[in-house]
Amino acid sequence: MCRTSKFENEYQSIKEIKEEDKKVSLSAMFEILGVKRANYYKWLKHNKSERDLENEELADFIRKYDEKFNHTLGYRMMTDRINRDENKNYNDKQVYKVMKILGIKSIIRPKRRSCTVRKSNNTAKNNLKRDFNASRPNEKWVTDVTEFKYGKNNENKLYLSLILDLYDRYPVGYAISDHNDNKLVFNTFRLAVDANPGAHPLFHSDGGYQYTSPIFVRMLNDNGMEQSMSRVHCCIDNGPMEGFWGILKCEIYHYGKKYETREELEEAIREWIRYYSHERYQRRFGVKTPYEVRSEALCNENPVQYPIPENKAIQKYKAAHYA
């Protein structure tokens, strides 16, 4: 206890009033109650509650991980990160409150407004039917190609082709190129197949010309894979890939980040994919990374199930179109 305990009640009153109304003038309260500012702060320093001390520790953790992960963590991801890595048990509300006090918030991912795909007439049926659940690794793969820009005026383009496993959301293969062509897609597929020998997943994509080419269709058949394609102008048919692209671009381009060289952009993309696969916890997986979920499942004859929370809009659509 501080030695100025004869003003204990006054100090406590000032503290409680200030906590309830941040706009209240401390100077006015000091004058009304007849206490000295220096003595009040001395008392405050030595009379912190357990919650005050806990919040101070939490604030230190928040600053640490906000800096480490480039200011990309929202309060839920921040909660999961601190609780797992620091063996704590904070709740979302507490973390949100302290982040707000610190002025720390994650970047907001803009909604995707359009989807443009070069189409071929030789499209396969939508055999995935927006059923994004999978009971084990290599049961369902989804894929797509996306574009990045770099240079002083964003005048240059770079393309990323990636295949995502729907069980664990793990990138099973990806390739980067200056050209969005067959070679890019074929290389991605070969990398995924080589990394997962014996895999025969349902393979879903949009109706882009690379995926409808006779060579690619033969590659699927040779590897015992059933083909599935989104319908025209229905990006939600490949929702998990669209979501993956959204997170990737939001986080590598956060706060207006620009890349002047190809090497710089490619390094950022590869590092983010590594981070996503091996470090980015997902609450749906019990605060595990895609790599951890995949590794556990591949060693288990009966993998843990991670059902996707029901989306009423998708359920309604499926009932109407795939009943």
Number of residues that this document lists for the chain: 323
- Residue 11, pLDDT score: 86
- Residue 16, pLDDT score: 85
- Residue 233, pLDDT score: 72
Q: What is the 3-state secondary structure (H, E, C) of the chain?
A: CCCCHHHHHHHHHHHHHHHHCCCCCHHHHHHHHCCCHHHHHHHHHHCCCHHHHHHHHHHHHHHHHHHHCCCCCCHHHHHHHHHHHCCCCCCHHHHHHHHHHHCCCCCCCCCCCCCCCCECCCCCCCCCCCCCCCCCCCCEEEEEEEEEEECCCCCEEEEEEEEEECCCCCEEEEEEECCCCHHHHHHHHHHHHHHCCCCCCEEEECCEHHHHCHHHHHHHHHCCCEEEECCCCCHHHHHHHHHHHHHHHHHHCHHHCCCCCHHHHHHHHHHHHHHHHHCCCEHHHCCECHHHHHHHHHCCCCCCCCCCCCCHHHHHHHHHHCC
Q: Closest Cα to residue 220, out of 117, 124, 106?
A: 124
Burial of 297 (0-12, 13-18, 19+ CB in 10 A): buried
In tens, the pLDDT along 38-94 reads 888 888 877 777 888 898 899 999 999 999 998 999 999 999 999 999 999 999 999
- Residue 1, pLDDT score: 40
Q: Which pLDDT tens digits describe the chain residue by residue (323 residues)?
A: 444 457 888 888 888 888 788 778 888 899 999 988 888 888 887 777 788 889 889 999 999 999 999 899 999 999 999 999 999 999 999 999 999 999 998 776 666 554 545 555 567 899 999 999 999 999 999 999 999 999 999 999 999 999 999 999 999 999 999 999 999 999 999 999 999 999 999 999 999 999 999 999 999 999 999 999 998 777 889 999 999 999 999 999 987 899 999 999 999 999 999 999 999 999 999 999 999 999 999 999 999 999 988 766 666 666 666 65
Assign domain 140-321 to its CATH architecture. Answer: 2-Layer Sandwich (3.30)
Beta-bridged to residue 229, according to DSSP, are: 205
Per the CB < 8 A criterion, the answer to whether 257 and 247 are in contact is no
Tokens of 18: 């200030």
pTM of the full structure: 0.81
Please report, for residues 146, 150, 155, 257, the alpha-carbon distance to residue 264 in angstroms, rounded to integers and kept in the order given: 17, 9, 15, 12
- Residue 115, pLDDT score: 56
- Residue 119, pLDDT score: 53
CA–CA gap between residue 124 and residue 121 (Å, rounded): 9
- Residue 168, pLDDT score: 98
Q: Edge-to-edge, what's the strand order for the sheet holding 156-165?
A: 171-177, 156-165, 140-150, 202-205, 226-229
Would you state the torsion angle of the CA atoms of residues 187, 188, 189, 191, taken in this order, to the nearest 10 degrees? 80
CA–CA gap between residue 33 and residue 13 (Å, rounded): 10
